[in-house]
Amino acid sequence: MTQTTGSDNSSSTPGAPGADRSSPERDKADLDAQSRRHVRIHIDQTAHESPTPTTGSALYLLGHVQIGLDLYREVSGDKEDPLIPNGPEVVRLTEDEHFHSGPPKEFTIIVNGRKRVVTAKSLSFDAIVALAFDPIPSGPNILITITYGHGPLANPEGPLTQGGTVKIKNGMVFSVTATDKS
């Protein structure tokens, strides 16, 4: 009886350069080989050929996704279709996979007791201050603090400091205060 280890070198010649499956050279070769493979996908019910893996920005171009719309990967069941970011992130495709474009998802949050609708999945300290105050208090002695609750699992509650960002979800509550330190 032969016992095997977690490493599978059956596809390479023992002792040959790149025989170690976890080497960077082997990983790059695997990625290069995968990138030559094309699959048929559907974007907004139109069939396209695409290399896999690809990038989000390449899918937006391939599907001619209009400016202001987002691209979503269709999933079955009651799950929400995940957003494909329009950027350099790697997207691995499967044959006959379907995508659709649509308006960005809207989130309803509460800032100082008032409902606000935003489309960003995360907000900066400055963006939340702008949602709380019009005009924004200013001066050499003004200190602005933000606390939040009912957030996603990544950040359910806590303070948000100047320069920071926070992931958001529907129903998240923000309390923004401006105090004069004088």
Buried b (16+ CB within 10 A) or exposed e, 147-167: ebeebeeebeeeebeeeeebe
CATH assignment of 107-180, given 3.30.110, 3.10.20, 3.40.50, 2.90.10? 3.10.20
Contact 54, 91 (CB under 8 A): yes
The whole-angstrom separation of Cα 86 and Cα 65 is 10
Three-class SS state of 56:
helix
pLDDT in tens, 106-132: 999 999 999 999 988 899 999 999 999
Quick check: pTM over 0.75? no
Tallying the residues shown for the chain, one arrives at 182
Contacts of 19 (CB under 8 A, 6+ apart): 9, 12, 13, 26
Domain 24-102 coded CATH 3.10.20: yes
pLDDT beyond 60 at 28: no
CATH 3.10.20 range(s) for the chain read 24-102, 107-180
Asked whether the bond before 14 is cis by omega within 30 degrees of 0, the reply is no
